[in-house]
Amino acid sequence: YTAEHQPEGNSGGWQGQSRSRDVARTGQGGGEGNVCGIVGYVGKRDAAPVLIEGLHRLEYRGYDSAGLAVMHRGRLRVTKTAGRVQDLRDKLSGQTAKSTIGIGHTRWATHGEPNETNAHPHTDTAARVAIVHNGIIENAEQLRDQLQASGVRLVTDTDTEALAHMIAAELAEREDVTLEDAVIRTLHRVEGAYGLVVLDIKNPDQLVVARNGSPIVLGLGENEMFVASDVSALVRYTRQVIYLEDGEIATITASAYHTKTLTGTDNSDNKTPTTVDADAGDYELGEYSDYMRKEIHEQPDALRRALRGRLDDRFATARLGGINLDARQLRNIKNVKFLGCGSAYYAGQMGAALVEELARIPADAEPASEFRYRSPVVDPDTLYVAVSQSGETIDTLMAVQELKRKGGQVIGAVNVVGSAIGRECGHGIFLHAGPEVAVASTKALTNMAVNFALLALLLGRVRDMSAANGQRVVNGLRNLPEQVSRMLNAEDDIATIAHQYAAADHMFFIGRVRGWPVAREGAQKLKEISYVHAEAYQAGELKHGPLALIAREMPSVVIIPSDDLVAKNLSTIEQIKARGGPVIALTSTDIPEGLADATIRVPRAEPELEPILLNVPLQILAYHAAAKLGRDIDKPRNLAKSVTVE
């Protein structure tokens, strides 16, 4: 599919097959522990600086060790560290040997401790083959046992080392075995997820690359080729890329590439390069100290991109050509279900509320991780929306595949054109958020919600929503970027409140109806980057148990949209205050002075759209609480930007 750009903007186009003119935006995904990074290079440049630069671009993903392998005068030179990419750079600073081919890796440990020995790349005993690998080999223990029984001495605790020995053994078995054949034969014995790159000193002009469940992208240069787990590692050198599909393998040289399936079918003719609509500057911090704050402040522009060309004043509706459904098909939709994980799931809840309010169609959201395990009843009249920033989230991808097996009607809502979910769905809604680097989603979540508002508007206008009501929503959507800008101007005031309550060990986030998914997302943001325990509750549920926890040490954030439930939300504040609990009110309406201990005000929007605005101050609140506590905001512990293994 592609983000279809028109002279006045974009219509949200999404096509099942890429073309050479296609425009892709970037995202994240992959990793041995979901977040590892892969870089490979073959060409005319000195390989080591290219690899180091690529690994630097992947540092945001989180890692505990780094390494690279280059070939010099027919021998492997492997350099590894249990530290940062800068430590690796320092280790290489005294080396003058040049190489035009190499592979690099940043590792997040899953098999074995995070030390230099377990760092990638891994080699066979004779140091003929070097390999870097993302993913988890599920039958690694069995493979390692077989190798040791045959006399191989394993020196690491990793699953990846087994692959290096197995590939080397295949190459040694017969002289006419190619590196590609050796990799294919090895992978036929492997169970699990992988994205990998293999280097062989007896094939000094080529790299072999394979993918199954962990993203791999090829970068096409002039007499040079690149490999990475994320295009962010490539955009400094090229914007022409090829995305590998699961079950595919590629062999690349400086001047050519070919791809085939693991069953041996050549499919190079189906691989048309995609142009990445991003450059190295998109991944620079600029004036900001970290990516999360940068991406919070990029939201007005991200919203403008999402809305450009998609608001139809003539018919008071939305244009979403990428969903590939005409008016008759839209009218036949009886239900809408959003499937996502984490923030994407909460955005789906916001989307479900918008669809029910604007289109009067039953809608709900469900965690994609639960959907495929409960033997779901798939209704052919239901529109399923698979939501993922990276487009690589394994739980959501597997839910899409389950739906397709059962004949479900599914579209994607992703931020990465060449992603697995995008390709699997074939059509859907492109988020237009731009590259999002920080683990905690901000602008992608906001753009998910605004795209779901567009979908709800479109569904409403093919049904009974009046033109006047449709135009009201169109105007409200058009106002959102400026309203978000106004909230960002109040960042210092929100930061003051965040600093005041950052020392709390626990916080509640309370909301009703429209405010409920906002509360859930607000609690998620706070706990994932500040490590403050936070729970979200529906306001009416407080008196059914959680009220017992209210105390002076337990602040509550109460979300108060300007709807007909204001009085009930004010009553909730009174209940909390009566029990000594501090209250931070997040509101788009007037509330009595002094009722809350602190108040965060947002501009009043069209009522259905207010949850989109109410999210933004909670992002700022979480950010400044985490900063006050000295947290690593962009790379919170134990978390990954994209979860591509279970």
Q: Quick: pLDDT tens for 295-346.
A: 999 999 999 999 999 999 999 999 998 999 999 999 999 999 999 999 999 9
Q: Is residue 33 over pLDDT 50?
A: no
**pLDDT class for 11, splitting at 50, 70, 90?**
very low
Q: What is the pLDDT of residue 423?
A: 85
Instruction: For 609-645, write each residue's pLDDT tens digit.
Output: 999 999 999 999 999 999 999 999 988 887 767 666 5
**pLDDT class for 451, splitting at 50, 70, 90?**
very high
Q: What is the pLDDT of residue 644?
A: 61
Q: What one-letter code names the amino acid at 195?
A: G
d(CA 69, CA 358): 56
Sign of CA dihedral 468, 474, 478, 483: positive
Instruction: For 371-422, write each residue's pLDDT tens digit.
Output: 988 888 999 999 999 999 988 888 999 999 999 999 999 999 999 877 889 8
Reported pTM: 0.84
Instruction: For 192-201, write each residue's pLDDT tens digit.
Output: 889 999 999 9
Sign of CA dihedral 86, 92, 93, 98: negative
Q: What is the mean pLDDT of residues 583-594?
A: 92
- Residue 380 CB coordination number (10 Å): 10
Q: What is the pLDDT of residue 646?
A: 63
**pLDDT class for 601, splitting at 50, 70, 90?**
very high
Q: What is the pLDDT of residue 390?
A: 87
Task: State phi, psi for 251 to the nearest 5 degrees.
Answer: -115, 125
> pLDDT: is 11 or 501 the higher one?
501
Q: Are 377 and 404 in contact (CB under 8 A)?
A: no
Catalytic residue among 294, 337, 635, 641: 641
Q: What is the pLDDT of residue 468?
A: 97
Q: Is residue 10 over pLDDT 70?
A: no
Q: What is the pLDDT of residue 114?
A: 79
- What are the b/e assignments for 477-488, b being 16+ CB within 10 Å? beebbebbeebb
What is the H or E stretch that residue 386 is in?
strand 382-388
- Does 341 participate in catalysis according to the annotation? no
Q: What is the pLDDT of residue 14?
A: 55
Q: What is the mean pLDDT of residues 432-455?
A: 94
**pLDDT class for 24, splitting at 50, 70, 90?**
very low
d(CA 13, CA 323): 7
Q: Is residue 16 over pLDDT 60?
A: no
Q: Is residue 17 over pLDDT 70?
A: no
Q: What is the pLDDT of residue 645?
A: 58
Instruction: For 497-552, write each residue's pLDDT tens digit.
Output: 999 999 999 999 999 999 999 999 999 999 999 999 999 999 888 888 888 888 88
What is the H or E stretch that residue 521 is in?
helix 515-530
d(CA 574, CA 381): 44
- Does 641 participate in catalysis according to the annotation? yes
% pLDDT > 90, the chain: 69
Q: Is residue 48 over pLDDT 70?
A: yes
Q: What is the pLDDT of residue 639?
A: 77
Catalytic residue among 36, 294, 337, 443: 36
The tokens describing 491, both together, are: 């960042």
Q: Is residue 5 over pLDDT 60?
A: no
DSSP character string of 151-207 = T----SS-SHHHHHHHHHHHHHH-TT--HHHHHHHHHTT--B-EEEEEEETTSTT-E
Q: Is residue 230 over pLDDT 90?
A: no
CA-CA distances (angstroms) from residue 414 to 277, 357, 385, 403?
Answer: 15, 23, 10, 17
**Ordered structural domains, the chain, with CATH:** 1-25+287-489 (3.40.50.10490), 27-276 (3.60.20.10), 492-631 (3.40.50.10490)
**pLDDT class for 215, splitting at 50, 70, 90?**
confident
Q: What is the pLDDT of residue 595?
A: 92
